[in-house]
Amino acid sequence: MKQYRLGSAEFVSAPGLVRWAINGAAFEDDRPAMINVVASTWNVPPEAAKALLLQQVPYSVEGETVVFAFGKEAS
């Protein structure tokens, strides 16, 4: 599985933006936009962003960084 680390910037709190996007993704009509925000902000594959926002994968917060893993296990 690949580990993703979504870092904060001076004007963007990664934990806050991810929580906001999770809430927005609960509405099916808004889901594509929320996935796009996370995917494009941190250059994450849309499938990984979708799994994060639909809470299909666990995530943790380390300081101001959101950490999660997504993908197939290496064989």
pLDDT tens for each residue of 47-62: 999 999 999 999 999 9
Q: Percent helix, strand, coil in the chain (nearest 5)?
A: 45, 25, 35
How far is it, in rounded angstroms, from Cα 32 to Cα 51? 12
Collapsing DSSP to helix, strand or coil, 15 comes out as helix
pLDDT averaged over consecutive 10-residue blocks of the chain (75 residues)? 95 96 98 98 97 98 97 64
Collapsing DSSP to helix, strand or coil, 40 comes out as helix
Question: pTM (2 decimals)?
Answer: 0.91
